Amino acid sequence: MSLLTKEQLKGFIKEKNLQTVPDIYNALKELFKDTLQEMLEA
pLDDT by 10s per residue, the chain, length 42: 578 899 998 998 999 999 999 999 999 888 889 888 888 999
pLDDT at residue 4 in the model: 82
pLDDT at residue 1 in the model: 58
How many Å from the N-terminal Cα to the C-terminal Cα in the chain? 29
pLDDT at residue 34 in the model: 84
Indicate whether 31 belongs to any domain.
yes
Indicate whether 1 belongs to any domain.
no
Number of domains in the chain: 1
Indicate whether 27 belongs to any domain.
yes
pLDDT at residue 41 in the model: 93
The amino acid occupying position 13 is I
Which structural domain, as residue segments, surrounds residue 36?
6-41
pLDDT at residue 23 in the model: 95
Indicate whether 29 belongs to any domain.
yes
